[in-house]
């Protein structure tokens, strides 16, 4: 079978295996079929495949060829976001080859990366068995929802190599930094009563007014203290995105709840930010007799930055001819970097096609990506 036929066959097989991950249980699916499919391709190439089981019938795959303290991890997530099939022009789970593009759910984000990596590996021919350092294919679960796959890897302390490249769609531009993300709720417990006499209750909405003021002041201070010219939005952001409280104009508001996200720059630490938030907001609750509860809504993703001077950044810049830059989206990179690996994000396809109906990857992006990954393996695994 020719290389391109094999590529198409593999991509269509992966697209045909639904592996949606979602924080709402009605959409959430197992990724196990994708993991097993990848293992069945990698084992005959000499990789030893370790499947790390996770709750809800999910799994990570760590496929390792060779041994040593250096080497390269090529990492991708096996899940996709949910899709709205009624907004697609085709079945999202059937790969369609049209307009010099492959259409299908996950074609670009990011099932397409695995056949690219496999083609790069096969193109190495005899050189594959002669690599001096390990080559590891990592396939993770739940990147699009909880990042439970990457969290489990960080906890287990594996895999380990010198370098890690996450093949998210970046048009093969090396991404060496992105902001972190944390989301929190503020719940204010007041005391309801008849509005004609304010002494009959404690108004949670009035406390929220103070809380919002404090939160925006905090944001202003953070933005004065922290700037990074490597980002399109050069300051940390904080967005109040949800509020609900009270029930009637003639009733003292007994309860109010607000949710916000906070996106810190590299160098800021999420635990420290939450400590500062608690120090600033909780006293308002005490003063107003309206206790405040702060709760984190999701697992945090720390900000990520790989230094411009790191060897992997320089290798990737030289190989692709593209300067490294920042991304506006968060990835599993901080988890892999925390394992001690130099880490970047770089893969074929465009993030503009991700999470969209009629998601596609351009034919023209595939061969250059295969060539670049092949060169990257030779460079990183022969040190
Ligand atoms: Zn992705």
Mutual angle of helices 32-42 and 3-15, in 10-degree steps: 160
CA distance 107 to 145: 18
pLDDT reported for residue 2: 63
How do residues 244-270 score in pLDDT, each as one tens digit?
999 999 999 999 999 999 999 999 999
The mean pLDDT of the chain is: 97
HSE at residue 288, side-chain half, CA atoms within 13 A, is: 26
* pLDDT one-digit tens code per residue, 324-359: 999 999 999 999 999 999 999 999 999 999 999 999
Catalytic residue list contains 79: yes
* 305/290 Cα distance (integer angstroms): 40
Distance CA 246, CA 249 (A): 8
Residue 53 DSSP label: E
Residue 6 DSSP symbol: H
| pLDDT value for 3 | 74
Rounded Cα distance between 338 and 342, Å, is 9
Query: How far, in Å, CA of 75 to CA of 67, rounded?
Result: 17
**How far does residue 296's CA lie from ligand 1's centre (Å)?**
23
CA 186 – ligand 1 centroid, Å: 30
Selecting among 143, 144, 168, 332, the annotated active-site residue is 143
Cα 354 to middle of ligand 1, angstroms: 7
Q: Indicate if the alpha-carbon torsion angle 54, 59, 60, 66 is positive or negative.
A: positive
The contacts of residue 337 (CB under 8 Å, 6+ apart) are 164, 304, 306, 343
Spans in the chain with pLDDT lower than 50? none
Cα gap 369→113, rounded to integer Å: 9
Distance CA 50, CA 69 (A): 18
Q: Angle, to 10 degrees, between the axis of helix 3-15 and the axis of helix 113-123?
A: 150
Q: Determine the Cα–Cα distance for residues 4 and 211; give it in Å rounded to an integer.
A: 58
DSSP three-state, residue 353: helix
Tens-digit pLDDT profile for residues 20-56 = 999 889 999 999 999 999 999 999 999 999 999 999 9
Q: How far is the CA of 226 from the centre of ligand 1 (A)?
A: 28
Distance 192 CA to ligand 1 centre (A): 46
Predicted confidence at residue 276, as pLDDT, reads 98
Residues with CB under 5 A from ligand 1 (ion): 109-110, 168
């Amino acid at each position: 079978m020719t290389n391109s036929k094999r590529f198409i066959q593999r991509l269509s097989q992966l697209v045909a295996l639904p592996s949606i991950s979602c924080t709402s249980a009605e959409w959430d699916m197992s990724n196990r079929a994708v993991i097993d499919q990848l293992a069945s391709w990698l084992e005959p190439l000499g990789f030893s495949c370790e499947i790390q089981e996770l709750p809800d019938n999910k799994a990570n795959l760590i496929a390792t060829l060779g041994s040593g303290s250096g080497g390269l991890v090529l990492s991708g997530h096996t899940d996709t976001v949910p899709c709205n099939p009624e907004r697609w022009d085709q079945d999202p789970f059937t790969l369609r080859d049209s307009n010099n593009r492959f259409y299908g759910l996950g074609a670009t984000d990011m099932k397409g990366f695995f056949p690219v990596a496999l083609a790069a590996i096969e193109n190495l021919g005899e050189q594959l068995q002669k690599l001096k350092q390990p080559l590891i294919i990592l396939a993770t679960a739940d990147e699009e929802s909880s990042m439970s796959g990457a969290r489990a890897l960080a906890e287990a302390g594996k895999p380990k190599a010198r370098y890690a490249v996450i093949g998210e769609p970046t048009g093969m531009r090396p991404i060496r930094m992105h902001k972190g993300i944390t989301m929190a709720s503020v719940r204010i417990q007041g005391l309801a009563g008849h509005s004609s006499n304010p002494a009959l209750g404690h108004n949670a909405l009035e406390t929220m007014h103070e809380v919002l003021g404090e939160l925006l002041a905090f944001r202003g201070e953070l933005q004065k203290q922290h700037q990074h010219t490597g980002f399109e939005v050069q300051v940390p952001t904080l967005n109040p995105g949800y509020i609900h409280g009270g029930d009637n104009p003639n009733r003292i508001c007994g309860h109010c709840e607000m949710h916000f996200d906070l996106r810190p720059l590299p160098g800021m630490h999420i635990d420290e930010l939450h400590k500062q938030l608690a120090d600033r907001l909780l006293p308002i609750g005490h003063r107003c007799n309206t206790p405040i509860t702060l709760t984190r809504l999701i697992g945090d993703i720390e900000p990520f930055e790989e230094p411009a001077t790191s060897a992997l950044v320089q290798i990737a810049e030289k190989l692709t001819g593209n300067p490294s830059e920042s991304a506006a989206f968060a990835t599993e990179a901080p988890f892999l970097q925390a394992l001690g690996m130099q880490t970047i994000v770089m893969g074929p396809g465009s993030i503009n096609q991700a999470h969209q109906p009629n998601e596609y990857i351009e034919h023209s992006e595939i061969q250059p990506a295969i060539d670049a990954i092949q060169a990257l393996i030779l460079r990183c695994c022969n040190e």
